[in-house]
Amino acid sequence: MADVEFQQTHLNDVSLEGDITVPGAPGQGEDEDEEQPSTLDEPVRETVMRDLKAVGNKFFHVLYPKQSRALLQEWDLWGPLILCVILAMLLQSSDTVDKVNDGGPEFAEVFVIYWVGAVVVTLNTKLLGGSISFFQSICVLGYCALPLTLALIVCKLILLGPHTTAMFTVRCVTVLVAFLWSTFASTAFLTEYQLPNRKALAIYPIFLFYFVLSWLVVSHQS
Amino acid sequence: MAARPGWQQSGQMDSSAVIDMDYLDSGDGSGHDTNESDIEHDSPDSKDGKSGLYTSMQKNVASFMFERGREQAKRAYSLYANIDFLRPYFDVEPHIVRSRLLNSMLPRKPTDERQSVPRELYGPTMLVFTMIALLLFQMKTANHAVEEGTLMGTAFGVCFGYWLGVSSFIMVLSYMCNTRIVMMQILSLLGYSLFGHCLVLFLGTVIHTSHDHMLFYLLWGTLGGLSTLKMIAVLASRTRGSSQKMVMCGIVAAIHMLFLIYLHFAYHQMVEEISFLEGVGPHHDFLKKEPIHIISSTVKQAAEMKGH
């Protein structure tokens, strides 16, 4: 210990300012500049717009899925929350509000299916040996429900018209396309981190998750 | 360094200067109070010494509290969020899962040699979730309405309750009948035997028959019977004594087959019968009606209509 010198003057010059860094939090990727400007003094509008742009960027990646890390590196749960609330609200409308059918169970049902389903699929992916983190997987599964949300909006517009067999067929086809799109988009992002000989085992619960959501969408009668 | 159980258990060995002082001072395993009394006796009476000591004690307490909090959070996380103990049961390949699914419908005659049971949870878990999805499919098709709770909650409760509850019951039964099988094998065996149930539910919902349930009974006997036979053959091969075998196999077979009947009749609407009684059109017109109650109230309505 005798040859160790303590540089007291150097320690006194160290700046104590900086952002709190939490490993794994959004915005903490390796490629980013370490000296980020402080966001405490910026206007709220700017903060909100930045987050909205990030959410919009991720929606774009879901609509044009290709293997990219945009959804994974800077994950967030705003998009999944927005989609879940839209899905639950649109699925819960009921013509008769009475003791049996007051719309409440539909909202809770969709909420539980959405989040518990995403958690179960994520746990399965991790147990199969996937190298993806928990919240990254939830983020991808949540965002990839966008095609189904758009299909639900289209179905609601179709249901405003006459209820014929042809319209029912159109709704089925729309939801089927959305279901395949959601499944394809999520597998494009998630299976990259799975062992190659086990991709089928990881894809099946994702298929089941979006199948249940699709069935809720197609069976909804306003 | 003497052993200090109190400090070691709390995991503070590398955190605060109080421990360091105790270590330098004595190794007699004394507690915190002794440290404080030592400090009081050893510190000088001057104001500078006391304030410096007070500041360093403040910092030590703060770092101690932070470390304690972090340790507790880590312990809670490792206890409740560690799923690594399940990893070996999900270590399986797709072709193995496929062959196990097919073998769950192919019973082998029990012999003195014990039939092997894999300890795997991926296939059973996915089958339970598939059954939940099929029940939802069935309930939504039949406009089944649950007065309290949700359709999803009902399906979850029924499927997971059956898998875990009946597995526990079989565990108790295997203890009483001296069957050589462990809990993980029972979960795997019962889980894979739900494949037959899933097939029956799927075919029974997709193929609508008019007025009767002959197709369902046919599927119940063949597919349900095959998966039940497979399960009881495995259990019989692992049980010694004919009376124990009969008790074990009889009870398990009865529960398994009756569960399939319950799944079909509790959540399936006799759509064609009601539409026949009410004189409405084909199936898709029925879907536009108000949601109706479960089978008991439906049967009551049908009986009232017949009486009128």
Q: Which of B141, B150, B285 should one mutate to test binding to chain A, selecting the residue with the greatest count of A CBs within 10 A?
A: B150
| A144 CA: distance to closest CA in chain B (Å) | 20
Residue B142 pLDDT: 63
| B229 CA: distance to closest CA in chain A (Å) | 27
Q: Which of B128, B130, B136 should one mutate to test binding to chain A, selecting the residue with the greatest count of A CBs within 10 A?
A: B136
Q: Which of A102, A120, A219, A222 should one mutate to test binding to chain B, selecting the residue with the greatest count of B CBs within 10 A?
A: A219
ipTM of the complex: 0.73
Residue B264 pLDDT: 84
Residue A153 pLDDT: 92
> How many H-runs (helices) and E-runs (strands) does chain A carry?
9, 0
User: Which chain B residue lies closest to A197 (C-alpha atoms)?
Assistant: B93
pLDDT per residue of chain A (222 residues) written in tens, 0 to 9: 555 555 444 444 444 544 454 444 555 444 444 556 677 778 888 888 888 888 888 888 888 776 566 666 778 888 899 999 999 888 875 555 554 555 545 787 788 888 888 888 888 888 888 777 888 888 889 999 999 999 999 999 988 888 788 888 999 999 999 999 999 988 888 877 777 788 888 899 999 999 988 988 888 775
> Would you call B145 and A101 a contact, using CB atoms and an 8 Å cutoff?
yes
DSSP A133: -
Amino acid at B90: F
Residues of chain A with Cβ-Cβ distance to B293 below 8 Å are: 100
Helix axes B151-176, A104-127, angle to 10 degrees: 50
Residue B13 CA to its chain's centroid (Å): 39
> Would you call A128 and B147 a contact, using CB atoms and an 8 Å cutoff?
no
**pLDDT tens-digit readout, B110-151:** 887 888 888 999 999 999 999 998 888 777 666 655 554 566
> Would you call B90 and A112 a contact, using CB atoms and an 8 Å cutoff?
no
**Domain regions of chain A by residue span:** 71-95+103-220
| A60 CA: distance to closest CA in chain B (Å) | 30
**pLDDT tens-digit readout, B187-204:** 999 999 999 999 998 888
**SS3 labels along chain B:** CCCCHHHHHHCCCCCCHHHHHHHHHCCCCCCHHHHHHHHHHHCCCCHHHHHHHHHHHHHHHHHHHHHHHHHHHHHHHHHHCCCHHHHHHHCCCHHHHHHHHHHCCCCCCCCCCCCCCCCCCHHHHHHHHHHHHHHHHHHHHCCECCCCCCHHHHHHHHHHHHHHHHHHHHHHHHHHCCECCCHHHHHHHHHHHHHHHHHHHHHHHHCCCCCCCHHHHHHHHHHHHHHHHHHHHHHHHCECCHHHHHHHHHHHHHHHHHHHHHHHHHHCCCHHHHHHHHCCCCHHHHCCCCCECCHHHHHHHHHHHHHC
All residue ranges of chain B with pLDDT < 50 are 1-44, 148, 270-299, 302, 308
- Provide the whole-model pTM: 0.69
**pLDDT tens-digit readout, A91-149:** 875 555 554 555 545 787 788 888 888 888 888 888 888 777 888 888 889 999 999 99
User: Which chain A residue lies closest to B133 (C-alpha atoms)?
Assistant: A212
User: Which chain A residue lies closest to B138 (C-alpha atoms)?
Assistant: A215
Q: Spell out the residues 6+ positions from residue B37 whose beta carbon is closer than 8 angstroms to its own.
A: none
